[in-house]
Amino acid sequence: MKNVSEKMRACFSQGTMMLLKRISALSKELGRRAYLIGGTVRDLLLEAENLDIDIVIEGDAIAFGEKLARELHGMIISHKRFGTCSVTTPEHVKIDFATARKEAYAKPAALPTVEFALLKDDLIRRDFTINAMAISLNEDDFGFLIDFFDGAGDLEHKSIRTLHDKSFIDDPTRILRAMRFEQRLGFHIDTHTANLIIKSIEKEVYKRVEKPRLRDEIILILKEKEPFKIIKRMDEFRALKIIHPYLKFHKDLHNMFDAIDEACLWYQNNSPRKRSIEKWIMYLMALFEDVSHDGTLYFCNIFEFKRGERLRIMSYKNNGRKILKTLNAKRKIAPSKIYHLLEPLSHEVTLLIMAVSRSDAGKGRAMEFFHKYNGMRTVIRGDDLKALGIKIGPHLSRILEKILYKRLDGILKTKEEEFRYAKKLAKRKFAKGAG
């Protein structure tokens, strides 16, 4: 066994090392065995940044976490059904604990039945050898690397290799994870594992997986630093049909992904009213560019996307191209028209419209919206209109909207001008009412 204590000290902060030593002492006190596990170990050996601390306990991980939380005056969230918990220290360091367990699959792609076990049983249920290593946190062998399946060798050879031949049958989401890790790490899927993936896709084992589980994997792919590479790799494996049967790798996709990156970077650097942008939704909209409205809606529903996510995706599908055509027009477009088109949309949809526009005019108008018009309001408010005798209701909202449009177009510049225009509109209303 290889001791990686020096690497741990080099990669972890002094505070984290002290915390791991405290966990080591507690494991001895409770007569338990504790191990760093999975992605934490992989990234430590690669000297890649990973803020996650995942620990497996041979024994009751929740009882272990509860005692640690008490000693550290931290917080704990437990999931008794899974034998897991998360402890957060007063310094906001989060540690995830899991009870070592083994899994059995009653049928392919089903959720496994779980029973508590020893470390090796826990490691063999994992997806790939590079994620199936552990580092002892126990006093008698602290820092020793435990590697039953030569994950360290696969790290050295930059290889993604599954632990057994039924891996993708047991859990078809591993097909997507293989490509995600391969492209993130700059590795290659080894030949035997690639053949297992191809056979699993041909057998359509992914159809047995609950769609929300596949959805979560798709979102993780689209949240990666370079999602296009993973999508391209999926196309090479003919795996895009896992997402949707009619999904095609269209030739303009790379340009669309690059344009999305550029648009989001511009937004972060230039927009005065920034919001948190979910870029993965924009990538997903681009991916479904050539899928029909009904096909996209079916996908959103069957994969159980959240309501807000579904609305944004379908908003672009319903209106994106029509709005883009208007913004790309060579004729002059009033600011109020730009506002009317873009203000109801999410920023993700507006940024995608800006990204896919091949016209300087279209891009410029979207930028102008973010710079000048987004979130603009009238100077006078509803209470001011009520003081003029206008009752709350649709008419009041329409008057405010008309005032705003005049303000956007530079016709109304002061509060006094807005008031005069409001009175004029109110008189028209009363005159119509009297008639």
Range of the domain at 147: 1-157
> Quick one: pLDDT band at residue 141, thresholds 50, 70, 90?
very high
Q: Residue 405 half-sphere exposure, CB side, CA atoms within 13 Å? A: 13
Which pTM does this prediction carry? Answer: 0.90
Q: Which residue, 368, 343, 337, is CA-closest to 271?
A: 368
Q: Helices 335-342 & 360-368, crossing angle to 10 degrees?
A: 80
Residue partners of 316: CB distance under 8 A and separation at least 6: 285, 349, 352, 353
CA distance 432 to 435: 5
Domain holding 327: CATH number? 1.10.3090.10
- Clarify whether residues 361 and 406 are in a common domain: no
Distances (CA, A) of 4 to 38, 41, 330: 15, 10, 64
Residue 171: how many other CB atoms lie within 10 Å? 22
- Clarify whether residues 3 and 131 are in a common domain: yes
Domain end among 173, 203, 237: 237
> Quick one: pLDDT band at residue 115, thresholds 50, 70, 90?
confident
Taken as a whole, the chain contains a residue count of 435
- Clarify whether residues 94 and 127 are in a common domain: yes
| Average pLDDT over the chain, rounded to an integer | 91
With 0-12 / 13-18 / 19 or more C-beta atoms within 10 angstroms meaning exposed / middle / buried, residue 236 is exposed
**Residues 330, 331, 334, 339, CA torsion sign:** negative
Helix (H) or strand (E) holding 78: strand 75-79
CA distance 373 to 380: 17
* 1 belongs to a structural domain: yes
For residues 272-292, give the mean pLDDT.
93
Q: Which residue, 388, 414, 416, 412, is CA-closest to 401?
A: 412
* 68 belongs to a structural domain: yes
Residue 109 has pLDDT above 70, yes or no: no
Domain end among 115, 133, 157: 157
Domain end among 350, 373, 396: 373
* 59 belongs to a structural domain: yes
CA distance 254 to 258: 6
* 322 belongs to a structural domain: yes
Residue 175 has pLDDT above 60, yes or no: yes
Domain holding 229: CATH number? 1.10.110.30
Q: Residue 434 has what pLDDT?
A: 38
- Clarify whether residues 262 and 353 are in a common domain: yes
Tokens of 167: 């891996």
CB 290 within 8 A of CB 248: yes
Residue 1 has pLDDT above 70, yes or no: no
CA distance 309 to 29: 48
CA distance 325 to 353: 10
Structural domains of the chain, count: 4
Q: Residue 114 has what pLDDT?
A: 65
Residue 431 has pLDDT above 50, yes or no: no
The pLDDT tens digits of the residues spanning 236-279 come to: 999 999 999 999 898 889 999 999 999 999 999 998 888 899 99
The pLDDT tens digits of the residues spanning 194-220 come to: 999 999 999 999 999 999 999 999 999
CA distance 106 to 267: 49
